[in-house]
Amino acid sequence: MAKQKVFYQDLNRISFQEAWDYQGKIQKSMIQHKLSKRGLSGNALLAYKQNHHLLFCQHNPVYTLGKSGTPDNLLLDDDEMKKAGVEYFKINRGGDITFHGPGQITGYPIFDLDEFFTDVHRYVRTLEEIVIRTIAHYNIEGKRLEGYTGVWINEPHHIRPYRKICAFGVHLSRWVTMHGFALNVNTDLSYFENIIPCGIEDKDKSVTSIQKELGQKVDINEVKMILKTNFASLFDYEYVDNRHAEVT
């Protein structure tokens, strides 16, 4: 059986609104294409192919609040956010509040899970495994923490033994995904001091990055390529050249 095809695109530095609009446009197009499959039969049905997408980017500084979050977890008022140069959006993904900004890889898989597997729990666990394998390249041991989403660093003797290095939040419509993950690579972690990250107030938990764990910056483009390879391996798909795609 032929592997699924995925268009990969690095959007580089982009505003959250622009990326959100672009995701929505792709998701809507994929759903419409998917619905057209219902009227196919015979060779036409066999020839049907869905065009999945994987987007990577770095956002301008922004706080996003998921649909299950509470605004009280944002600790700045409008004037303070304006002064800090940070935007704020309430959005349709799961989860609570988080930060996106330069030095962080924000990844948006827009996949039709009907062509992979229809299991949200498995989907999120697969995203976590991709990140765990990626940071292992840098000799960082990522773990899952029971009762919490995300990828964590767990060192029992550290002052903050549980440190979150990657957050996740997804939204599905007709099994087509959007939103995804935020991996802190060389991220300015001071931005997280203005929120209660993911609504977690536990004293033994904090936020970290690859840079903080290693004590030095890493090549963010190298991290992207490792992530990209691990995506293709775990979802078992092939990439399609999408270098000329534009955000419209």
Q: Would you name the residues annotated as active-site residues?
A: 198
CA torsion through residues 192, 195, 200, 202, sign: positive
Of 134, 136, 152, nearest in space to 144 by CA = 152
